[in-house]
Amino acid sequence: MTNFMTRDFLLQTETARHLYHNHAAPMPIIDYHCHINPADIADNRPYENLTQVWLYGDHYKWRAMRTNAVPERLVTGPADDYERFAAWAATMPKLIGSPLYHWTHLELQRYFDIFDPLSSETAPAIWEKTKKVLECMPVREIMRKSGVEIICTTDDPVDDLAHHKAIANCKDFETKVLPAFRPDRALRIEKPTFSAYVNELQQSSGVKINDIDSMKSALAQRIDFFGKQGCRASDHGIEAIPYQPATTAQLNAILKKAQNNEKINETETVAWQTALLLHLAQEYHKRGWAMELHYGIRRDNNAAMYNKLGPDTGFDCIGGFTQHEGLINFLNALAEENALPKTLIFPANPADNAIINTLAGCFQGEEAPAKVQQGTAWWFNDTRHGMENQLTDFAALSALGNFIGFLTDSRSFLSYPRHEYFRRILCNLLGGWAENGEYPAGAGLEGIVEDISYNNAKRYLFG
């Protein structure tokens, strides 16, 4: 029997071990999509204990704890930090086969030199040891220790990016912390908060918004502002890819209704989203930015808990939306105008992998290898099984050597070992193919591993 999570964890062949230890592990990290709070980096926030860094904002862990019948007061409620940690420790042994189990123990190993499995029995000793280590490991030290070269946070167009500017002026911190442009609130015209958001956008852009053209101008102004702070990627989180063209007069009428706080129907919402998303994509193309499309999540399914806790608290699931006609028409409309930016497509439903990879092949260009590609296995697919499937489908239907690799999509500063998890899975898969005689071992394979781990993302986003 193999020992628990050793140096060769997940690496089942000699070739896999060579690829990981000599070519994947040494590569720096580019985390090109995450939900890290830049204020915490600017302030070099210290954490007092594991609960603060693990359990204050991680809805992945919250879902697992609820599934273990942990009372909500120990999940998001007023329990003290050790009580919450103890509840998480008690949940751990039930999570066999879950990435949460592996992520948790990789973090304990890499940051705290703890190799004992977390459980109710080991929780007190682990709590005390990690508290002592955290005293000397604020967030910038965590990032240094993790080998993080660049992260891209997720930022609303109205953000003044003051924290990013402060971080950029830190002379003793080499990691680049760049904003990513996330204009979701500008697209959600059906929301009762939309009119107030337009006022925020007017103030931040200096553009009076009274029609679709001025809305586009305001967003373009904010894109330029983000670009000056190093932004090279946008991000969109939407349920379904919209495509319903409308006239300028129709769009102006929809905006007027929204600003008057009148109800916006589904047809009007899709028309508005189509117009803005096409405009935004064209602006990204002009600047050489990448566009990320995260779609297919059905959000806030438990109305009672949403009303109590708000969004992003663990009550989302994979949606059953029909995506592909809208996505095809959207990409085609941009291609017809020679305005399709580099595009990363993240479907929530793993059944979409083959469709996305074949569709991507219809819209390639000379701006970048795999200009349009499926993004890494995302959210509910961020598992060993999900990653292997995504990599296998990408290899079968696209050109895996051009894949730009992994991102954490995380709110936790201890999440960087997830890159290690991905790289181990990647090396095990490729190493197995090589040992089966499906690909020649040697420098070509080693270069592919280094490219997917780091080089491709650097070239695609910042080259």
Taking the alpha carbons of 179, 312, 347, 30 in that order, is the dihedral positive or negative? Answer: positive
- Local confidence band at 1 (pLDDT 50, 70, 90 cut-offs): confident
Read off the pLDDT of each residue in 91-111 and give the average, rounded to a whole number. Answer: 98
Residue 323 pLDDT exceeds 70: no
The H or E element containing residue 18 is helix 14-19
- Euclidean distance between CA atoms 58 and 15, whole angstroms: 35
Q: Which of 113-122, 163-172, 318-327 has the lowest mean pLDDT?
A: 318-327
Residues 6+ apart with CB under 8 A from 380: 317, 318, 348, 386
Q: Can you tell me the mean pLDDT for 308-328?
A: 89
Residue 325 has pLDDT above 70, yes or no: yes
Q: Closest Cα to residue 330, out of 370, 362, 287, 297?
A: 362
To the nearest 10°, report the CA torsion of 411, 416, 421, 426: 100
pTM: 0.97
Cβ proximity of 89 and 83 under 8 Å: no
**What strands lie across the sheet with 372-374, from one edge to the other?**
233-238, 290-295, 342-347, 372-374
Cα 312 to Cα 316: distance, rounded to the nearest angstrom: 8
Contact 11, 425 (CB under 8 A): no
Taking only the tens place, the pLDDT of each residue in 153-162 is 999 999 999 9
Torsion over CA: 255, 258, 262, 267 (sign): positive
Contact 160, 204 (CB under 8 A): yes
Cα–Cα nearest to 186, from 177, 174, 195: 195
Q: How confident is the model over 377-433, as pLDDT tens digits?
A: 999 999 999 999 999 999 999 999 999 999 999 999 999 999 999 999 999 999 999
Q: Is residue 322 over pLDDT 70?
A: no
Residue 447 in 3-state DSSP? helix
**DSSP reduced 3-state for 294:** strand
**CA distance linking residue 28 with residue 405, whole number of Å:** 12
Domains of the chain: 14-46+139-462 (3.20.20.140), 47-137 (1.10.2020.10)
